[in-house]
Amino acid sequence: MESSIHTLNNLFAQLGLPSDEASIKTFIKTHSHLATSVLLSEASFWTPTQAAFLREEILNDADWAEVIDQLNTSLHAV
């Protein structure tokens, strides 16, 4: 079975967010510096559907997990 390779642009589109480079940079700048104690899927800026998607994809180590980890790292950057 071939694994899909997803990008941040694809992830943002999947989450129903603007997925162009400028919008992604703005989102990360606006929402970065999450406390280390806050899981990505528990951040207050997600809708319940977005949070569930992020949580389930990570728990299932699904195709999206790698790019979700990338977003997680970006939003927890100090």
Percent of the chain scored above 70 by pLDDT? 94
Q: Which domains does the chain have, with CATH numbers?
A: 8-75 (1.10.10.1130)
Q: Between 65-75 and 21-31, two packed helices, what is the crossing angle to 10 degrees?
A: 50
The pTM score is: 0.89
For residues 40-67, give the mean pLDDT: 96
- What's the pLDDT at 5? 85
pLDDT score of 29 more than 50: yes
CB 72, CB 40: distance < 8 Å: yes
Number of H helices, E strands in the chain: 4, 0
* Residues 6+ away with beta carbon under 8 Å from 36: 76
For residues 28-48, give the mean pLDDT: 95
- Alpha-carbon distance of 40 to 15, in angstroms, equals 13
- Alpha-carbon distance of 38 to 17, in angstroms, equals 21
- What's the pLDDT at 78? 61
pLDDT score of 68 more than 70: yes
